[in-house]
Chain A
Amino acid sequence: NAGVTQTPKFQVLKTGQSMTLQCAQDMNHEYMSWYRQDPGMGLRLIHYSVGAGITDQGEVPNGYNVSRSTTEDFPLRLLSAAPSQTSVYFCASRSHGTQYFGPGTRLLVL
């Protein structure tokens, strides 16, 4: 199993640009989530999904959209990037409480 994979590893955007961060898992987990990690802030939950077709907001959802059309994929979309969205983004999937994290996407918004 590849576990949780994320692409790209690194991205630079200009303010106002849009992009999609990709996340996929091959463990057949129903629960998937997106976090952002900022210095001194730990990980904060952006959006999560308990299964295909179901998504919900986490602690910091503003500026981000998600969809879950399949069990495997959970993309995160930034419609109009802002400098405040400069962060490291982690996708995770969960089974029986244990979360498995992807390697992260480092995003810089200029």
Chain B
Amino acid sequence: GESVGLHLPTLSVQEGDNSIINCAYSNSASDYFIWYKQESGKGPQFIIDIRSNMDKRQGQRVTVLLNKTVKHLSLQIAATQPGDSAVYFCAENMNNNDMRFGAGTRLTVKP
């Protein structure tokens, strides 16, 4: 998994398997969290978000889990596809105008 400011970890999964990407955030007062996907040569793209008053949110093939007790966030991707290969970032909203990003996790999907 990743933590804000640390090296870029990697995750390799087989096509069709589920992927779990982890993130440890730093500020217990952060109230909003976002997962982004960044493909090579492109800007980050919004995937899913979650507010601190929730512990789980589901989208299409993606689920975000928030554990405020241990300041941990995870992104689950169901039935991972080759098109999911990218770098995934978590971001925490420190206050209304300051969003801090983790270093990212590189997901590689093997066909």
Binding site for B on A (CB under 8 A): 4, 31, 35, 39-45, 48, 50, 56, 58-59, 90, 92, 97-104
Residue contact B103 to A97, C-beta cutoff 8 Å: no
Please report B residues at the A interface, Cβ cutoff 8 Å.
Answer: 4-8, 32, 34, 41-46, 49, 89, 91, 93, 97-104
In the complex, which residue of chain B has the Cβ closest to the Cβ of A44? B101
Decide: A50 near B7, CB < 8 A? Known: A101-B43, A103-B42.
Answer: no
**CB-based contact A48/B42 at 8 Å:** no
The answer to whether A40 and B7 touch across the interface, beta carbons within 8 angstroms, is yes
Q: How far is the CA of A90 from the CA of B34 in the complex (A)?
A: 17
Indicate the member of B6, B32, B89, B97 with the most A CB atoms within 10 Å.
B97
Q: Is A97 in contact with B89, judged by CB distance below 8 angstroms?
A: no
Contact of A99 among B4, B5, B99, B100 (CB under 8 A): B99
How far is the CB of A107 from the nearest CB of chain B, in Å? 15
CA distance A92 to B103 in the complex (A): 18
Chain A residues in 8 Å Cβ range of B101? 35, 42-44
B89-A100 in contact (CB<8A):
no
Question: For residue B98, which residues in chain A have a CB less than 8 angstroms away from its CB?
Answer: 45, 58-59
Alpha-carbon distance between A95 and B101 when the two chains are bound, in angstroms: 18
Verify A102–B8 contact, CB threshold 8 A: no
Q: What's the Cα separation between A100 and B99 when bound, in Å?
A: 13
**Is A97 touching B7 in the complex (CB atoms < 8 A)?**
no
CB contact between B4 and one of A42, A101, A102 (< 8 Å): that residue: A42
